[in-house]
Amino acid sequence: MVKFMMIFHTPDADITMFEQGYARFLGMVEQIPDVQRRQVVNVLGSPEGQSPYHRILELYFTDRATMTAALNTEAGQIAGAGLYEVFRPLGYTFETLFADVYEEAGGSTPPSPPATKPNTGGEPDDTTHA
């Protein structure tokens, strides 16, 4: 599973204008095909206090090829253009990311490869040449 993330910075201007624009943009996003799940995260703050982020919108797809195809459809292109047309004129900023999702439905991060033991000098290793 992969996701497309849109991270909206905390608006400096009127929050009501942001919310109106966000609702308009969300209508465009809902037209994108093959979205498996949509998640909206309202940021409450951070351990340091105020967060520079206000909201995160995540669109989940089965794989990267499906995500790329969906974002390149007419609906995906309209939503992409809408992201800039709705928020930039109002001075709202955002970041966008693609990410692999490893932890799903109670799963866990894949294990790391086993660590190699250092050669203590008594046994040859694959770097020793005869």
DSSP-H helix ranges across the chain? 15-29, 64-71, 74-87
100-112 pLDDT, tens digit each: 998 656 666 666 6
Angle at 22 between CA 53 and CA 95, to 5 degrees: 40
7-60 pLDDT, tens digit each: 999 988 788 999 999 999 999 999 999 999 999 999 999 999 999 999 999 999
Question: Residue 36, Cβ neighbours under 10 Å: how many?
Answer: 13
Q: Residue 49 is inside which H or E element, if any? A: none
The most confident of the ranges 82-86, 87-91, 109-113 is 82-86
The most confident of the ranges 77-81, 99-103, 122-126 is 77-81
Contact 43, 51 (CB under 8 A): yes
